[in-house]
Structure 1
Amino acid sequence: MRPTMKTTSLGTMTHNTTRLDHVVLWVRDPVAAARFYEKTLGLEPLRVTEYTAGTVSFPSVRLNDETILDLAPHSLAERMRVVPGADGSAGHPVNHICLSLSPHDFEALRARLEEQAITVSDLAYDSYGARGPARRSFYFGDPDGNILEARHYE
């Protein structure tokens, strides 16, 4: 079955059929990573208690109603044999993950990062993304070296 197509100001797009479900980040300490994402980005930690009890392989943090970030320990790599060579991916960097925020949340995040002495990039303007050019954006890193971009469109 083909996705329904619709035309928007951004061009032709699928009609809510394909969405990003999750991104897996390799981290040294999943509990500390969950704490970072909760404290810095305000994301809801998931399955941290279960992870510390040893009943699940990794915790996650909720980005929105439909998307989570899985925080996988490097030790999980040996079990990643879903395709040939996948077990060698632990620590292999993703270039970056981009989070789209409201202007208010964008400003609040930048302030929290600066309060915590987390290095942030200079502001960029009109960077192209899923919704066209963003008004402003900047980059920062998490404690495991994963790079995140924050932006707003309005």
Structure 2
Amino acid sequence: MVTRSLRFVHVAINCKDPVTVERFYTKHFGFERARVADLGGGKQIVFIRSGHVYLEMFQTDAVAPHAPVGGDGPQYPCWRHIAFQVDDVEAKLAEMGEDARVTLGPMSFDSFIPGWKTVWVADPEGNIIEISQGYVDQDDPPRLP
């Protein structure tokens, strides 16, 4: 049984340049700074919010164990990408201009859901973001076996 007060809250991101990442999500996805936690020694955690969802950004100096992935995200077990729904994918890409580093698409998924269209872009650190339009839930999805 799931606790009624349970809700999705945030995704944490390790960043080489958290200021650039924060500017990207603020500019293109409507996030706003919600809290800064001072960790001392010039380190901090920055929380940015869009509605009830937060991105929690940690600065890191560590080297990535592999090259950045493209497409719709990594194909091995992990978080593949985060996603945002918009009214018009093409308009969002135009609005983002050169900041829209497309890694895959745009692609139409009309065969699954009429009007469903998606594109994947990379944020300034190479994290994959899905931008989608037209997705709707299935009326009666199969139950979990």
Asked if these proteins are the same fold (TM beyond 0.5), I'd say yes
1:26-65 correspondence to structure 2 within 5 Å: 26-47=14-35, 57-64=44-51
C-alpha separation between the residues in 2 aligned to 1:55 and 1:18? 33
Tell me what 1:87 maps to. none
State yes or no: 1:73 paired with 2:71.
no
C-alpha separation between the residues in 2 aligned to 1:126 and 1:74? 37
| Percent of aligned positions that are identical | 28
Flag the structure with higher helix content: 1
The runs of 5 or more residues in structure 2 that have no matched partner are 66-73, 137-145
Deviations 1:87-121 (A, max 9, x none): xxx857742111223x14x44421122x2253223
C-alpha RMSD of the superposition: 3.4
Q: What's the secondary structure of 2:45's corresponding residue?
A: coil
Is the Cα–Cα contact under 8 Å of residues 101 and 123 in structure 2 kept in the other structure? no
Flag the structure with higher strand content: 2
| Length, aligned pairs only | 120
Q: What's the secondary structure of 1:57's corresponding residue?
A: strand
Q: What's the secondary structure of 2:44's corresponding residue?
A: coil
Q: CA deviation at 1:72?
A: 1.1
TM-score by length of 2: 0.63
C-alpha separation between the residues in 1 aligned to 2:106 and 2:5? 33
Structure 1 runs (4+) deviating above 4 angstroms are 53-56, 90-93
Q: CA deviation at 1:71?
A: 1.2
Q: CA deviation at 1:56?
A: 7.4
